[in-house]
Amino acid sequence: MRSTRREFLGTSGAGLGLLAGASLSWLAGCASTAKGDIMPKRGPRVVVIGGGWGGATVAKYLRLNDPAIDVVLLEPNRDFISCPLSNFVLSGVRSIDSITFSYEGLRRHGVKIVQQAALAIAPDGQRVRIADGYIEYDRLVVSPGVDFQLEQVEGLAQAGDRVLHAWKAGPQTTQLAQQIQSMQDGGVFVLTVPPVAYRCPPGPYERICQVAWYLKHAKPRSKVIVLDANQNIVSKAALFRDAWKAYPNIDYRASAKVVGVDPAAREVRTEFDRVKYDVINLIPPQRAGRIAVEADLVGADKRWCEVDHVTYESVKQKAVHVIGDSTTGLPVPKSGNVANAMGKICAAAIVELMKGRTPPAIPPGNTCYSWVSDREAIAVVNSYKIEGGKVVQIEQKLTPAQSVDVAQHALGWAQSIWSDVLA
237, 243, 250: which is closest to 191 by C-alpha?
A: 250
Distance of CA 308 to the CA centre of its chain: 20
How many other β-carbons are positioned within 10 Å of the β-carbon of residue 132? 12
**Domain 1-77+115-149+288-362 coded CATH 3.50.50.60:** yes
Report domain extents, the chain.
1-77+115-149+288-362, 154-286
220, 34, 219, 41: which is closest to 126 by C-alpha?
A: 41
Q: Cα–Cα distances in Å, from 273 out to 144, 227, 268?
A: 35, 10, 9
pLDDT at site 31: 38
pLDDT at site 16: 27
Q: How far apart are the first and last CA of the chain?
A: 38
Cα–Cα distance measured from residue 148 to residue 142, given in angstroms and rounded to the nearest whole number: 17
Q: Which CATH number fits domain 154-286: 3.50.50.60, 3.60.15.10, 3.40.640.10, 3.30.930.10?
A: 3.50.50.60
Averages of pLDDT over runs of 10 residues in the chain (423 residues) are: 32 30 27 72 98 98 98 98 98 98 98 98 96 97 98 98 98 98 98 98 98 98 98 98 98 98 98 97 98 97 97 98 98 98 98 98 98 98 98 98 98 98 98
Query: Dihedral, CA atoms, 180, 181, 183, 186, nearest 10 degrees?
Result: 100
pLDDT at site 35: 80
| 154-286 matches 1-77+115-149+288-362 in CATH topology | yes
Residue 73 pairs in a beta bridge with 48, 113
Cβ atoms 274, 258 nearer than 8 A? no
pLDDT at site 333: 97
Q: Is the dihedral of CA 247, 250, 253, 258 positive or negative?
A: negative
Residue 146 pairs in a beta bridge with 288
Cα–Cα distance measured from residue 167 to residue 403, given in angstroms and rounded to the nearest whole number: 26
Cα–Cα distance measured from residue 122 to residue 5, given in angstroms and rounded to the nearest whole number: 8
Q: Burial letters for 323-361: b for 16+ Cβ neighbours within 10 Å, e otherwise?
A: bbbbbbebebbbbbbbbbbbbbbbbbbbbebbeeeebeb
Tell me, yes or no, if the pTM score tops 0.75: yes
Residue 251 pairs in a beta bridge with 225
Cβ atoms 30, 11 nearer than 8 A? yes
